[in-house]
Amino acid sequence: MKHEHVIVQQPTSSPQQLLLFFHGVGDNPENMAQIARWFAPHFPQAAIVSVGGAEACGPTGRQWFSVQDVSEENRQQRIDAIMPAFIATVRYWQEQTGVSPLATALIGFSQGSIMALESIKAQPELASRVIAFNGRYATLPQTATTASTIHLIHGDEDRVIELAHAVAAEEALVRAGGDVTLDIVDNLGHAIDDRSVQCALNHLRYTVPKHYFDEALSGGGKPNDDDIIELL
């Protein structure tokens, strides 16, 4: 599949995890790769790829959908139109690396977060984790499963995507029975800083997905060895 990307890390042996990074509108995979590099030392057995949006946006930028004249009424339609390409991209890297959805994390900022969140809404078993930096849903989910764990990380001073969207997303997922966390970063606008990254790393490394507890309570026992490791 032809798309712009930057391979940040490729283990010499078969990867045990897959971390896919998605940038904001008008940005590019090279810039998002700088964020991805903060994760590499903590996941030495992970394939880490920064993926570019499907469409050109400006002289050096990319996007998944245009935000020109975007509104609450048409945002979902624009996302739905490009979603098959986004899902195909995730599947492509899973096939290339041999990593299953159980060991895949989608990590996005802004529009990249929107696409990651909406992809899990469309296909809940596409990946086991989503890290959404300063993102939102186009429309709030009415249903949810614990197949994927959603980590929302948002600056309280964000004026591009208001914090209220993250709060509403958390509340909707809790009502629907999903697995979600929300970290609010003080005095942070529409950006990722070291505190945001630390929140993400802490969740990826130490937060146990709710479905493991559900399986234990239902008599399913502990996760299988191939369900994965530190990421989960």
Mean pLDDT of 195-199: 98
- Cβ–Cβ under 8 Å, residues 130 and 170: no
When the pLDDT of each residue in the chain is averaged and rounded to a whole number, the result is 92
Handedness of CA 98, 63, 136, 198 (dihedral sign): positive
- Does the pLDDT of residue 183 top 60, yes or no? yes
pLDDT, tens digit, for every residue of 8-42?
999 999 999 999 999 999 999 999 999 999 999 99
Q: In Å, how far are 48, 63, 153, 231 from 202, measured between CA atoms?
A: 17, 29, 12, 10
| pTM (2 d.p.) | 0.93
Mean pLDDT of 83-89: 98
Q: Which amino acid is at 105?
A: A
- The pLDDT value recorded for residue 84 is 97
- The pLDDT value recorded for residue 19 is 98
**119 pLDDT tier (thresholds 50, 70, 90):** very high
Active site residues: 110, 158, 190
* 218: Cα separation from own chain's centroid: 28
**216 pLDDT tier (thresholds 50, 70, 90):** low
- Does the pLDDT of residue 222 top 70, yes or no? no
Residue 24: CB atoms within 10 A of its CB come to 28
Provide the 8-state DSSP code for 224: P
- Does the pLDDT of residue 2 top 70, yes or no? yes
